[in-house]
Amino acid sequence: MEIIVPIKQVPDVALNIKVKDGAVVEEGLSYVISSWDETALEAALQMTEDVGGEVTLLTVGPEKASESLRKGLAMGAHKAIHVKYDFAKETDSFAYAKILQKVLEGRNYDLILTGKQAQDTDAGLTAPMLAEFLGLPQVTNIIRFSDVSDQKITLFRQGDHATEVLEMNLPGVITVNDSLNEPRLASMRGIMMAKKKPLEEVDLDALGVSSEMRGAQASMTEVLQYDKPESRKEGKIFEGDEADTVKQAIELLVSEAKFLA
């Protein structure tokens, strides 16, 4: 089975994020594959290990995004497509989905598998928009899968009030919840092999992505500014015998925060 895994290179949100003058400070950021996309890649690798086929990574991003593609190849993806794109800051999910549609039309695949959202925007819009543009069924937020073939797949979706078990005829679009798996680490051998795996570079002009399809012109929404959330005031820490500390904490909780008042 042929699986496309769209990935996004994002700032590592586990690190401290600084904001200055309404913008995120670039200096000091380190870039990684969005963690939900790594979960999707792991799932894709497991599927192809099970039934055969190939995993193709796809990213739309700047020059340095190739590092993330190499990392994914080192984890075991078979090949990668890098659409060179330097308008990330002004590009919204709608515009990304349109470019991905352009890349994928005319290509052969059974499944598009990606993270439920990207860790930079946390928007979760691109994959379902892409599914709509491609006219494909979607199943989002899956926590398990079974009965994989290149014809169909069984998916367990965590919905609001139930786990929904769905059978999807392929091709289709799936987004993953990170409880699906623990992504593997790249082995030394994997890292060596990744250097020789095919990484196709695609130019926007060659793809037929005109200037109206890029950046702010193609986007329906824009970010005006970034701010830090209001920081929480410093808390009180209680140490010692739980019988005492819990009582002290509850007393303050009642007097200061009107707990159960």
Please give the residues from 145 up to 174 whose contact with other proteins meets the rule CB under 8 A: 154, 158-169, 172
Selected binder of other proteins within 21, 26, 205, 242 (CB under 8 A): 242
Is-contact 243 250, C-beta < 8 A?
no
C-alpha atoms less than 13 angstroms from C-alpha of 135 in its C-beta half-sphere = 1
Is-contact 71 195, C-beta < 8 A?
no
Cβ of residue 164: shortest distance to other proteins, in angstroms?
6
Q: Indicate the Cα dihedral angle 145, 126, 4, 137, nearest 10°.
A: 60
Peptide bond just before 171 cis, omega within 30 deg: yes
Interatomic CA distance for residues 236 and 203, integer angstroms? 55
Binders of other proteins among 80-99, rule CB under 8 A?
Answer: 92-94, 97
User: Where does this chain touch other proteins (CB under 8 A) — which range of 49-57, 79-87, 185-193, 218-226?
Assistant: 218-226
Tell me which residue of 184, 192, 194 sits closest to 38, measured CA to CA: 184
Under the phi-then-psi rule, with left for phi > 0, alpha for psi from -120 to 50, and beta for the rest, what region is 258? left
For residues 15 to 44, the per-residue mask of contacts with other proteins, x marking binding by CB under 8 A and - elsewhere, is --x-x----x-----------x--------
H or E segment to which residue 103 belongs: helix 93-104
By the rule CB under 8 A, 143 interacts with other proteins: yes
Pairing of β 79-84 and β 138-146: unpaired
By the rule CB under 8 A, 46 interacts with other proteins: no
Tokens of 115: 């993270």
Cβ of residue 180: shortest distance to other proteins, in angstroms?
10
Q: Which DSSP category does 243 fall into? A: H
Cβ of residue 188: shortest distance to other proteins, in angstroms?
28
Cβ of residue 53: shortest distance to other proteins, in angstroms?
19
Cβ of residue 109: shortest distance to other proteins, in angstroms?
15
Tokens of 188: 């030394």
Closer CB to other proteins, 125 or 193, in the complex: 125
Closer CB to other proteins, 73 or 91, in the complex: 91
By the rule CB under 8 A, 139 interacts with other proteins: yes
User: Where does this chain touch other proteins (CB under 8 A) — which range of 47-55, 183-191, 198-206, 247-255?
Assistant: 247-255
Interatomic CA distance for residues 24 and 40, integer angstroms? 27
User: Where does this chain touch other proteins (CB under 8 A) — which range of 41-49, 60-68, 135-143, 187-195?
Assistant: 135-143
